Amino acid sequence: MIGERKNILVVEDNRETQLIIKVALRDNYNVELINNAADAINVVRNNSFDIILLDVNLNGEGDGKDILTFLREKYNKTELPVIIMTAYDLSDEDKTFFNENANTFISKPIDKKIICSEIEKLIFN
């Protein structure tokens, strides 16, 4: 449906980064913020999202790798695109895992133009 707002799940535990992303996206998308792996998995089980922005390192039990493993058991990369967000260098093993299972990467700190561009590429192309 033309004009329908897309739903984005942001899994990020840093409050400042959450706010930056929410402000960058709120005019064009419905944005839900989650700050841990368990809540992210539960919300995906019970809701429909068009794309997920996923931080690699999360506080508490579970991390971005756990969430992405769960997501790929249920959805392929076309059904539910995932953008990985990280401020850290990844190990070779993690790079391989995320390259195989995520759609793209965004480096932190978050740049509004880059994040909007990557979302549009994945949702509308």
Q: pTM for this one?
A: 0.94
Give the list of residues 6+ apart from residue 18 with CB closer than 8 angstroms, or none. 10, 12, 33, 35
Q: Is residue 14's pLDDT more than 70? A: yes
Q: Do 64 and 22 form a contact (C-beta atoms < 8 A)?
A: no
**Structural domain spans, the chain:** 6-124
Q: Which fold has domain 6-124?
A: Rossmann fold (3.40.50)
Q: Is residue 16's pLDDT more than 60? A: yes
Tens digit of each residue's pLDDT (9 = 90 or more) over 48-73: 999 999 999 998 889 999 999 999 99
Tens digit of each residue's pLDDT (9 = 90 or more) over 95-111: 999 999 999 999 999 99
* 104 exposure class (CB count in 10 Å sphere: 0-12, 13-18, 19+): middle
